[in-house]
């Protein structure tokens, strides 16, 4: 599963995302988007060491924090976040529920026993 983050502060947001306890992964920047003035990162999630419900709630809260930051000019800026799963399916976190995020995590089978 991959999570694409676009925005001026994509690196900061991605590092915060990967510091969520129970998520394991790494990230890289997407250089072709960076040239257009928008920074993008792709986080590759390789494992979940906590339950899918716990991680879904943490991802939801993380995204809500960045959605609220769009209203504050001094906060880090993230324009879009999408989970890429399966055969290229996208779940935009802007409108996603905790339940939808949890379902994607279950489908991806990243939870470690």
Does 104 fall in a domain? yes
Q: What is the mean pLDDT of residues 70-74?
A: 74
The answer as to whether 97 is a domain residue is yes
In angstroms, the CA 4 to CA 83 distance is 6
Q: Is the dihedral of CA 99, 64, 10, 47 positive or negative?
A: negative
User: How far from chain centre, in Å, is Cα 64?
Assistant: 11
- What confidence score (pLDDT) does residue 77 get? 79
Query: By residue range, what is the domain housing residue 14?
Result: 2-38+51-108
In a domain, 46, yes or no: no
44 within some domain:
no
| Cα–Cα distance measured from residue 4 to residue 30, given in angstroms and rounded to the nearest whole number | 9
Q: Residue 96 domain-assigned?
A: yes
The pTM assigned to this predicted structure is 0.86
Q: Given pLDDT bands bounded at 50, 70 and 90, which one contains residue 113? A: low
- CA dist 25 and 47 (Å) reads 7
Tell whether 77 is covered by a domain.
yes
pLDDT averaged over every residue in the chain: 87
Compute the average pLDDT of residues 87-109: 91
- Asked, for residue 68, whether it belongs to a domain, the answer is yes
pLDDT, tens digit, 9 for 90 and up, residues 17-54: 999 999 999 999 987 655 556 789 999 999 888 888 99
The reply to whether 89 falls in a domain is yes
Q: Report the domain count for the chain.
A: 1
């Amino acid at each position: 599963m991959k999570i694409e983050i676009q925005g001026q502060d994509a690196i900061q947001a991605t590092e915060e995302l990967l510091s969520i306890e129970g998520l394991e992964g790494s990230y890289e920047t997407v250089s072709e988007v960076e040239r257009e003035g928008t920074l993008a990162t792709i986080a590759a999630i390789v494992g979940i060491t906590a339950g899918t419900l716990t991680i879904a709630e943490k991802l939801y809260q993380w995204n809500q924090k960045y959605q609220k930051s769009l209203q504050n000019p001094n906060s880090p800026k993230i324009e879009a976040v999408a989970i890429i799963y399966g055969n290229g399916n996208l779940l935009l976190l802007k409108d996603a529920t905790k339940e939808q995020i949890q379902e994607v995590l279950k489908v991806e089978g990243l939870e470690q026993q």
